[in-house]
Amino acid sequence: MKVIGIAGSPREHSNTEYFVEVALKELQEQGIETEIIRLREKRIHPCIGCYDCVTAKMCTLEKDDFDEVFDKMVEADGIIVGSPVYNSSTPADVKALLDRAGFLSRWISNDMKSKSDSYDWKGTAFSGKVAAPITVARRAGQNFAFAELLLWFTVNDFIVIGSHYWNVGVAGKGGAVDADNDLEGIGIMKHMASNMAHVIKQLKK
């Protein structure tokens, strides 16, 4: 059983990374193997909508770190995507990864139909995996970024994990790295991780 946490902040030792690590630590304590992936350490080009993945069943863009991250996403039982809030949305690195992963995961398992045919989808490369979003903002803008991640999870056939509140952290006023002061947020992330561990264990029975 393994969960990967994707920390989408371009900042080193960021508030987003802190909350992702809180969740991963809770998962570890419940017997789940974890790994953190820091997108600031990766180079991932944006999707160009070429549709080559429909026939190639792989992304044909210039080679970067996408394949490495995508393979880990496919191999994992669960995925946490943590993102800071930039203008009420996710930053470019998060969007680049999710756009390409979403396209590829669908066309690995399906063939494109003609305009006159309807789809009977066979799932995606992520079908049956569990997932949860985490967003972090100084004050506002959480809802749109959080919804963006939820929409990506649901269209890609994940089982979405919640908590006793939305998985949001409040930190970073004046650029501060102070996520450890958000005690409510820490509790939310721990409870989400506990829920995720429970669901993964049930699915593995």
- Residue among 29, 38, 45, 127 at smallest CA distance from 81: 38
Q: What is the CATH number of domain 2-203?
A: 3.40.50.360
Q: pLDDT, tens digit, for every residue of 12-62?
A: 999 999 999 999 999 999 999 999 999 999 999 999 999 999 999 999 998
φ, ψ at 71 (rounded to 5°): -60, -40
Q: pLDDT, tens digit, for every residue of 112-130?
A: 888 888 888 889 999 999 9
What's the whole-model pTM score?
Answer: 0.95
CA dihedral sign, ordered 192, 8, 61, 148: positive
Quick check: 161 and 130 in contact, CB under 8 A?
A: yes
